[in-house]
Structure 1
Amino acid sequence: MSHTLDVLQSLTSSALQQGRGIATRGHRKTPAESLELYEMEGCPFCRLVREALTDLDLDVMVFPCPKGGDRYRPLVERLGGKQQFPYLMDPNTGAALYESADIIEYLYNEYGGRPAPQRWLVRSLRTAAATAASLPRARHGLHLMESRAPEQPLELYSFEASPFARLVRERLTELQLPYLLRQCGRDQWQDWVLPPVRKRLAPDYQPTQRNRVTLMEKTGRIAVPYLVDPNTGTALYESADILAYLDRTYAR
């Protein structure tokens, strides 16, 4: 029942995102090295950046910085001078940015090859919508849980507005577990249809978004979240199973 309630709350958050963080329109230039994002899942301003990353189809290395965290919060202060989130570092250009609007504008200019959508840049609109989406999950994805640090970052296939992937990202944040976020935004109409229905409507369906193609090749199916842990050789679908695994393996 608890997990069912969590899913319902997360579905509400997704609805309040007003359609952002689902589809991808892609990018013009691919970063040679992974972008680095220091953030908290439950932070509304961090959410705006993640929505833009999904729209741009840009993978990113996430370093979770929950309140009370001691792994990456001090590093952000040393690098940028203050503990403020989100904080983006781009090893490809040397750029380092606070402020969600500045980060979003930078990402579209540097990698998107197009202007950033105004709905992400107009302060009153972006703040209200992002804050509303945070309310149903207000206690989650912000505060520290004691954990054991992994030797290598984990890997998560996700898209921002996925209600099931959100639950996993919350736990990764709380446990301070770094992970490579692999974008799986929808880029064709078949991606919006539930798999059983899609099988009837489009029996010859083939994914075109790059990480969805990878999932199909690796596992024979496409669903998010999908977690890969190189530290243990574990790979899992299903949010409830992934949460149980993270708690069992890393929580103290």
Structure 2
Amino acid sequence: MDIARLGKGCTLVSTTFLANSLRPQHQKLSSRTSGLQSKERRFLCSRAEIINAPGTTEKAENLGTGESSASKTRKMSQPRKFFVRSDQWLNILGGSLAFPLRLGTGAFVQGYSASLAPASEVSPDKYSFVEIAGRKLVEKGKPGPRPEKPIELYEFEGCPFCRKVREIVSVLDIDVLYYPTPKNGPNFRPKAIQMGGKKQFPYMVDPNTGVSMYESDDIIKYLTEKYGDGSIPLTLSLGALTTITAGLAMIGRAGKGGVYTPAKQPDMPLELWAYEPSPFCKIVREKLVELELPHYYHSTARGSTKRDDLFRKTGHFQVPYLEDPNTGTNMFESAEIIEYLQETYAL
């Protein structure tokens, strides 16, 4: 199920969408993130379409500093096509309001195209949403240069300016490392303010070029010129109208993902495969932000080759898909992911 959402530097204003204040506490996520290079990186991704979706069992490994590789096993949740759990209908409907208000921005990658090709000519390890009369739907885009290291973004859900930047991330099909900055968060909000000198979000750091900046429109321009073809989608270039609709798109979620919930910090960032317009991905992102959990975000808008990557990895394509290298857990199904995050990290 593909549904969209989106979202100028988010000056900390007290509105339904901008929950901003800070506490002077500062805790660093130690450079444990570098551990991802030495440990097997697990990728997370998912969506509401499945092909051959049997449950699998995996052993928990790399449980984090101080914990041994382990003896427990965790069952990967069974992906279910277009399934909404009974207690999640209102959440999904609220998240779905963004699609019409933002005209689907972020649902398709730059240069998206689709065609029907004979099934015999399509590689069996390539994901296809549908097969009709012996022909498979083939979707692709025209990605620009890929950043060697993930772009770092300090931002939070519930901020229309942050949403705008998340939308261009999906359009450009780039992977980013999100450092959530919810109101009262003791870790990354103070860190971003210390680095940039302003109480304003989003704040971007590009470790590939050494560039860092505020202002959502400036970030969008930079990313499209550096990692795209230089063109900014119309829906992200309408000035105040873009910001207003990005704010309205979040009304259905009533500011969720904006205020900190006390939580333990993981040794390593989690990994999430998702894309901005999906309401299923939206509610998982809200929980990650509330718990202030840093996470690698693998963009999987329509036309992204990372849909094929996930399909080859798991045998299905469905988002959101979460992998936690700290516990060896990998999961489909948004409701179950949210429960896992709450049980594992909330204090």
Tell me the TM-score normalized by structure 2: 0.65
Determine if the alignment matches structure 1 residue 7 to structure 2 residue 7. Answer: no
Determine the C-alpha separation between the residues in 1 that align with 2:170 and 2:98. 16
Aligned length: 231
Partner residue of 1:135? Answer: 251
Partner residue of 2:115? Answer: none
Determine if the alignment matches structure 1 residue 49 to structure 2 residue 165. Answer: yes
Unaligned runs of 5+ in 2: 1-85, 111-141
Determine if the alignment matches structure 1 residue 232 to structure 2 residue 323. Answer: no
Determine the C-alpha separation between the residues in 2 that align with 1:92 and 1:214. 24
SS in 2 for 1:168: helix
Matched AA of 2:314 = T
Alignment of 1:94-243 (within 5 A): 94-187=210-303, 209-243=304-338
Q: Which has the higher helix share?
A: 1
Deviation at 1:14, TM superposition (A): 3.0
Determine the C-alpha separation between the residues in 1 that align with 2:90 and 2:323. 25
Alpha-carbon contact 2:95-2:250 (below 8 Å) kept: no
Alpha-carbon contact 1:13-1:137 (below 8 Å) kept: no
Matched AA of 1:74 = P
Alpha-carbon contact 1:160-1:166 (below 8 Å) kept: yes
Deviation at 1:127, TM superposition (A): 1.1
Deviation at 1:147, TM superposition (A): 0.5
Partner residue of 1:250? Answer: 345
Alpha-carbon contact 2:106-2:170 (below 8 Å) kept: yes
Determine the C-alpha separation between the residues in 1 that align with 2:297 and 2:277. 13
Determine the C-alpha separation between the residues in 1 that align with 2:238 and 2:285. 26
1:200-222 per-position Cα deviation (integer Å, ceiling 9, x unaligned): xxxxxxxxx32111211111100
Alpha-carbon contact 2:168-2:220 (below 8 Å) kept: yes
Deviation at 1:16, TM superposition (A): 2.1
Between 1:36-45 and 1:5-14, the stretch displaced more is 5-14
1:214-244 per-position Cα deviation (integer Å, ceiling 9, x unaligned): 2111111001000000000000000001001
Matched AA of 1:247 = Q
Partner residue of 1:197? Answer: none
Matched AA of 1:9 = G
Determine the C-alpha separation between the residues in 1 that align with 2:262 and 2:88. 21
The structure showing larger relative contact order (alpha-carbon pairs under 8 Å, at least 6 residues apart) is 2
Task: Determine which structure has more spread, i.e. the larger CA radius of gyration.
Answer: 2
Tell me the TM-score normalized by structure 1: 0.89
Deviation at 1:10, TM superposition (A): 0.9
TM-align CA RMSD: 1.1
SS in 2 for 1:146: coil
Determine the C-alpha separation between the residues in 1 that align with 2:99 and 2:201. 21
Determine the C-alpha separation between the residues in 2 that align with 1:131 and 1:61. 23
1:41-94 per-position Cα deviation (integer Å, ceiling 9, x unaligned): 121111100110100001100000001111101111111101211111001111
Determine the C-alpha separation between the residues in 1 that align with 2:230 and 2:97. 30
Determine the C-alpha separation between the residues in 2 that align with 1:161 and 1:84. 24
Matched AA of 1:146 = P
Alignment of 1:19-58 (within 5 A): 19-25=104-110, 26-58=142-174
Matched AA of 2:150 = S
Unaligned runs of 5+ in 1: 188-208
Matched AA of 1:244 = E
Matched AA of 1:144 = Y
Determine the C-alpha separation between the residues in 1 that align with 2:175 and 2:305. 11
Determine the C-alpha separation between the residues in 2 that align with 1:135 and 1:64. 20
